[in-house]
Structure formats: C-alpha cells, structure tokens
Structure 1
Amino acid sequence: MNWSNTALTAANHEPVSVLVTAIGGAGYGEQILKALRLAGGYRIVGADSSRDCANFARVDHAVTLPKASDPNYVDALLDVAYAFGVDAVFSGCEPELKVVSDQRERLERAGFLAPLNPKSVIDTCMDKRATAQFLDAAGFPHPRSVELSSLDDLDRVDWFPVVVKPAVGGGGSVDCHIAQTPRELRYLAELLDLGNRSMLVQEYVGRPEDEYTVGVLHDLDGDFLNSIAVRRELGGALNAKLRVPNRTGRADLGEDLVISSGFSHGYIGPYPEVTGPCERLAAALGVKGAVNIQCRLVDGVVQVFEINPRLSGTTSLRAMVGYNEPDVLLRRHVLGETVSPRFAYRSARIHRSLVENFVPEEPALNWTWAELKSMFVFLASMTPAQCVL
C-alpha cells in the first residue's frame, strides 16, 4: 500500500505484540508507548524498573525488569519477550539501548525485531567526542568543541560563552551547564569533578528561538523514508533546563542563554532549511532506523550540537501529526508493508503540560521478571503427562 495519501494507522491487521521498556520517568520510552497507542491495533507489553510506574495502567501487560546495569538484564528482557510472545522490542532509555545494541545478536537469533541503528552509529552518537570528530570529517558545521580531562586543560578554551556537558552520554541535557567567563568555567570544572571524569566544552551558538530537534527516519535496510522538525519554544520552565541572562555583550545570542530540557514542544513541520542538511548528515552517518538531531539555525547555516541515535522525546508529538515512527518501522519490518518515502503529515503547533497520575495502592503491575522466571523453571520441571493434566 502507498502511504503517501493514507493515514498511518494499525487498526486493520491482527495485533502485533510489542515490548516497550523504560516507559516510566517521562523519557522516550513513554513517547514510544504514546505513539503506538495513537496508532492503535498493537498489543503492548510495558516494562520499567520501578513497580510504581504510572504508565503500567496504559499497557496490556506490565512487568518490571532489572536496571540496564544488572548483568541479568538481557536474560530478563529475553524471558519477558518469550513469555508474552512479542514481535518487536523497543528500548526506551539510553542505558538499555546501549546494552541491547551490544548484544543485539541474541535478540535477532531469538527472532525478535529490535529497531536499532547499527552499533557503529550508536557508539558514535552516544560519545560526544566521536560525534564531533564525525561532523568534522564529514564536513558538517557544528559548534567548536574541546574535551577536557583535567583542570590544566581549561586554558584550551579561549572562546565564550560555552556549554559544559558530559563527554559521553547525558541525553536530555543531563548535567549540562553554561559558562560565560573563564572563572565560571573553572567553577563548573571543579563542581563536575573534572579529573575523575572528562567533559566536553562546546561553543554556545545562535538564539533560543532558532533551535530545532530534527527527526530523520530510514528503514532498517538504510533506505530513506522521511524527515520532520520541531522548532522549539523555550519560554517555559518545563521546556528550558537552564536560562541565564546574557552577560557577554553579544546581541546575536539573544537576551538569555538557554539550554533546552528533554521536554520539547513547539511548531512541527517539514522545515526544509533544517531537515535537508540533516537528511544528508543521516545518510553520511549510515543511519538504519530513527535518528534525532539537535541543532540551531545560525545565519542560515544548520549548526549541529548533538545527535541521538534513537527515537525522540518528541515521538508522540510527531505521531499526532501523522509522522508515527514506531508504527512505520513495525509496518515496514513486521507486517511487510510498503511505506512510500516522504509520506504526508500535517504541520501544527503542539504544547505540552504536566499531567497528574493517580497511583493506586495496588499497582497495575502484572508480573515481575523474577515471577516469570520462577514460572519458567516450574514448567520446565513438569513431565509431559503433568502438562496434559
């Protein structure tokens, strides 16, 4: 079927079973869950490391998993996938994404679709040093950046203002700060324990009103499907992680210097002036799946400051306008449907707000992984005659 003029819904097929992890904590796992619910027609197994996950009330089956740092994490993930007969597994947070990426062969051998980018793409994008090196080598504009590993390195930074962030990881603007002077940079270096861990110092560029989060979607064979952008509105406390008055004297940066939070909202549409360069970047990177590119448009030039090799924290917003990335990937690779490149979607302005969830004393949890494992052990111990009885 040609999707160019058809709404992307999943209502007319037998339910595909999907395991979505890390659905609590307002991360992108929750966004995947929301997008699949908007599509309709999916049987969703939702997993989280917390028994108190409010989103357990929004899935068909709920289960707790160990944290990604647990050596049994992948075993647990496979046990849950087997127990509920899922067709595909979406990792909903970066620590789990990294672990699953490293052991993806186990999921593939077991027959589960894991819509992941190639390991090389994930490793490059989750390391901000490697990201900067890739952008340099491929000739894509980006803010100046330097990795610091000790206080002695601070003299290497002679341009301000700068954004200070972890060199590895740190999605959703975790541990990101702004320094407008060498003194502020030294204070942050001491605060962030520079020396025991490295950090990346990146030039602060552009104005907050020119910041975009851009999604580029390829299928898992690497064929381009579509792109979309959210022009962020960073005026509220929910959407800006950090806002400080601009004391640099540089009017080109605006009145305030702003670092966005992981809760993006704003104007959604094609924005070819930013999606075009990002499409070329995704192709050069070798994307197979979804990639999310953070950038600012500075004097007509896209300046990329971060690449997330995964689905976005704006996945459900995009799905609301007909650009439903999880649904498209499942249709393409589980149902075997044809998805035409540049399928139609709407443009819109979408705003987010906080939503309160009533959490009952008895949570909506169906199973813990430990309970499922005990059941497997019990069933394995039974004789064929006992199974018949």
Structure 2
Amino acid sequence: MISGPILLTGAAGDIGVALAEVLRESFASVPILGADCNASPGGARHVDRMHHLPRADDPAYLAALERIVADEGVRLIIPLAEAELARLLSHGLIGASIGGAPVLTANARAVATGLDKLATARALASSGIAVPECGIVGRDEPGDYDLVIKPRSGQGSKGLTLLSRSDYDGLVDQRRGALWQRRLSADDQEYTCGLARFAQMEPRSLSFRRRLRGGLTGSGEVVHDPRITKLCDQVADALALDGAINVQLRLDDGVPMIFEINPRFSSTVGFRHKLGFRDAIWAISDRLDLPVEDYDPPPAGTRIERVADERAGLAKSV
C-alpha cells in the first residue's frame, strides 16, 4: 500500500493529465498532487492540489521541490518533463530520494542516453540496433536524402523541420547545433512502443501503429510484430534498462528503425493502462518494493483514440 501523496512534477501537460487519471483509478485513497512552472487550470483539474514550481533550470528549483515534499508529506515523486530529468540527473538524483521521497524514473543510463538524441543513436548503433543516419547541423554533412531537423534534446514535435537535402544548406546557420536525421519516408509505418523492465520483471513492451495529431499520438492500433518486440528487448539490454520508457520507430524497407527514445512516461501512458499494459503501476510497485502484477497483452488490432479534452484516452477492440 502507498502511505502518502504522490507528486507529479511537470503535471500540467498531457502526460501529467493522463498519468493523474491512471493513479486516481489505481490508488483511489491516495492524494494525487501536481507541480508545474505553468500551473494551468486545465492541468489542475486532474490533481487534488497543484503547486507552482520554478522552471527546472531555475536555481531555486530543487529547494522549492523539497519544500513541497516536506509540506505535503509526499511519499513518491514522479518527474515528467525532460528538463526536470536533466536537472535531477546533473545532481545525481536519478534513483535517489528528495526529502525522503523516492524519485521514480528509469535508470540513469537510460535517462542520460534518451535525453540526448545523438547519444541515443550512438548507443543503439553500437549495440547493433538500426537507427537512421544522423549528425549535428553545421558539423556533420548529411548524405543525399530528405532530412528531419530537430533539437538535440527536447520532446514531441517542438522545433521539428522536414526538408529536402537541397534546402539543408540554407538552414545551417539558423539551426546550427541541432540534430539532423535521414527522414524515414514510410509515414504510415510509425510506431510508439511502451517498454518496461525492472529487477523483478523481464522486459515487457506494447506497440501501437499510430497516427499523430498535434504532435501527439491521436489514434492507433495494437500491433504484435516479433521484429519490434525483439528490438525493444535489445533496447532494454543496450540501456541496462531499469524502469519504463517510450521507444519511437518506423519500418524502413521492412526494418524497424528507432528514431527517438523518450526516457520517461509518454502521452500514451493512459492508453496503455486501459489495455492492461500498466507500466506506471509496475514502476511504482517496483520502486516501493511491492509485487509487480502479471501482464496479459491486449489483442492485436485493438484501436485507441485520443478524446478531445486530452484526458487519458479511449480504447476499444475491433
């Protein structure tokens, strides 16, 4: 049993809203608290209390977080924003506690790798995992193919540009230091995969073939593809994974090729939970030394659809 409140930081965004509903369903008697630098009314509706927290790069961030933990008697902290993960990583707080409250994240190696898209590509490639050609704008010269340019760190579709190779040279000065990747052309073959592994649990993954809506997974269907399952297992080994992360890939001429890893819970955490892939609950159980429940995968072809108010989502079988 959980004896005190759970605090979600970065709680006002779509991930916070989805995860708050997952936790409320699973731990009905436990207060769900939120903290965010932009404590919007929309995000606040889904938690019992919302606290203002400085930006992760603010010198006052950690002290403010400690005060919330002490004032509320927080039992567990779940950081959701990548900027927060980077700050916690830099202070050696991944896998540690703040004010006596454990911080729930994936292991430091997975977090550090996933936060840097170039480091992700290099780590996976060194383990024999297929990734698209990539490099740093202004330093590495791309080949003769269409490109994606995006921030080296960050999440979602923020700062993402699609362009032809002939247009690349004109953007070098503007996007210097960003990451370029070879664009994987199969738009209808994009997958988002929840991946979890803990000391007391072998790797589990659930893959959705998805369609994007506003930079998020708007709809999709469950796919059981042994190539993707094997790839997720290889990622867990490459990162010595202890925790829950999100893997994004496309099939490129039939080869599953990873273009990004999010080292945190993703916006599909609510969808997955409704279908029995309860990675947030497994992670909490493992972190608090509670038994991790069994898992029965949902049928292939089960469809998911994000509802208009960006809550956890609906899922139905077809």
Q: Normalising TM by the smaller chain, what interval?
A: 0.7 to 0.9
Residue 315 of structure 2 corresponds to none
Unaligned runs of 5+ in 1: 1-12, 240-260, 358-389
2:71 is equivalent to residue 87 of structure 1: no
What do the CA deviations read for 1:14-46 (whole angstroms, capped 9, x no partner)?
6652100112132x2333223213324232011
Residue 35 of structure 1 corresponds to 22
2:150–2:178 contact (8 Å) kept in structure 1: yes
In the TM superposition, residue 225 of structure 1 has moved relative to its aligned partner by 4.5
Q: TM-score, normalised by structure 2?
A: 0.88
In the TM superposition, residue 217 of structure 1 has moved relative to its aligned partner by 0.4
Structure-2 change in CA distance of 1:46 and 1:129 (3 Å):
same
Q: What CA distance in whole angstroms lies between the structure 1 residues aligned with 2:38 and 2:248?
A: 30
Q: Choose from 124, 131, 139 the match for 2:128.
A: 139
Secondary structure of 1:229 counterpart = strand
In the TM superposition, residue 107 of structure 1 has moved relative to its aligned partner by 4.9
2:161 is equivalent to residue 158 of structure 1: no
Letter in 1 for 2:50: A
Q: Choose from 173, 180, 187 the match for 2:170.
A: 187
Residue 116 of structure 2 corresponds to 127
Q: TM-score, normalised by structure 1?
A: 0.73
Secondary structure of 2:102 counterpart = coil
Secondary structure of 1:171 counterpart = coil
Q: What CA distance in whole angstroms lies between the structure 2 residues aligned with 1:275 and 1:136?
A: 17
2:193–2:205 contact (8 Å) kept in structure 1: yes
Q: Choose from 211, 235, 260 the match for 1:233.
A: 211
Residue 368 of structure 1 corresponds to none
How many residues matched? 307
Q: Choose from 230, 242, 254 the match for 1:288.
A: 242
In the TM superposition, residue 143 of structure 1 has moved relative to its aligned partner by 0.8
In the TM superposition, residue 278 of structure 1 has moved relative to its aligned partner by 1.3
What do the CA deviations read for 1:292-327 (whole angstroms, capped 9, x no partner)?
111012233111111111111211111111212221
Letter in 2 for 1:95: A
Residue 161 of structure 2 corresponds to 177
In the TM superposition, residue 331 of structure 1 has moved relative to its aligned partner by 2.4
> Bigger radius of gyration, 1 or 2?
1
Residue 303 of structure 1 corresponds to 257
Identity %: 27
Letter in 1 for 2:110: V
Residue 257 of structure 1 corresponds to none
2:29 is equivalent to residue 50 of structure 1: no
1:269–1:346 contact (8 Å) kept in structure 2: no
Q: What CA distance in whole angstroms lies between the structure 1 residues aligned with 2:25 and 2:138?
A: 45
Letter in 2 for 1:281: V
Aligned residue runs from structure 1 range 48-87, under 5 A: 48-87=36-75
Unaligned runs of 5+ in 2: 312-318
- Choose 139-148 or 113-122, whichever is displaced more: 113-122
In the TM superposition, residue 269 of structure 1 has moved relative to its aligned partner by 4.7
Residue 364 of structure 1 corresponds to none
Residue 10 of structure 2 corresponds to 22
2:129–2:234 contact (8 Å) kept in structure 1: no
Letter in 2 for 1:324: R
Letter in 2 for 1:67: R
Secondary structure of 1:267 counterpart = strand
Q: What CA distance in whole angstroms lies between the structure 1 residues aligned with 2:12 and 2:99?
A: 26
